[in-house]
A and B are shown apart, each in its own frame.
Chain A
């Protein structure tokens, strides 16, 4: 059974940092591009960024809204993807979802999400 479990969310003050983790199981983690999305309260889904598999260079791409502040990394030996969030803003408040894509097209597997609240 495929499982993606996000953790690390919580309440943080503006300007501070937070690191989210996504622990995966049930599929060949190393073959997948791991992607982060977020959903602000009452809003739609927003792509945050992704990290390619090692076979595709392990490189990263980010949405303009987070570029330079957020960093995605992966540890294939532990099957964990990370989202390091720095210089957090109130508008980063959202549920953050971890997903995987093999084909760079659609997303078969989703975590349950973790809530990040940025507030003073």
Chain B
């Protein structure tokens, strides 16, 4: 099964830019999606198809995907962005969704 690798934690000061990576073999050739999950809540889709934002998601959230790394970038980080972030793709070989292990974003 396809493996997605995320750093366990990322810390950033308010107002700065947070970068969360998601590594996978030739992940740039696949579509990657990102979810935000706050404690006690269900995941929320924040980026889909590498770079698209669902309605209601701030423009501060953006994504990119190339080579072996997909990236979620959060600009002008706010305290309310503190959450766990998960990358996900649909593994066409095994025909099921795969999640990364998640990254805890801490706003200092």
Interface residue ranges, A against B (CB under 8 Å): 35, 44-47, 50, 61, 63, 97, 101, 104-108, 110-113
Contacts and interface: CB of A to CB of B under 8 A. Distances in A.
Interface centre among B45, B54, B97 (most CB of A within 10 A): B97
A106 B45 contact: yes
Interface residues of B, number: 25
Contacts of B33: 105-107
B51 interface: no
A97 B37 CA distance: 13
Nearest to A113: B42
B54 A47 contact: no
A61 B102 CA distance: 23
Contact of A50 (B31, B41, B96): B96
B88 A106 contact: yes
A78 B52 CA distance: 32
B44 A110 contact: yes
Contact of A106 (B42, B48, B84): B48
A105 B99 contact: no
A105 B31 contact: yes
Contact of B43 (A50, A61, A110): A110
Contacts of A63: 96
Contacts of B101: 44
Given A106-B48, A106-B49, A113-B42, A47 B96 contact: yes
Contacts of B86: 44-45
B59 interface: no
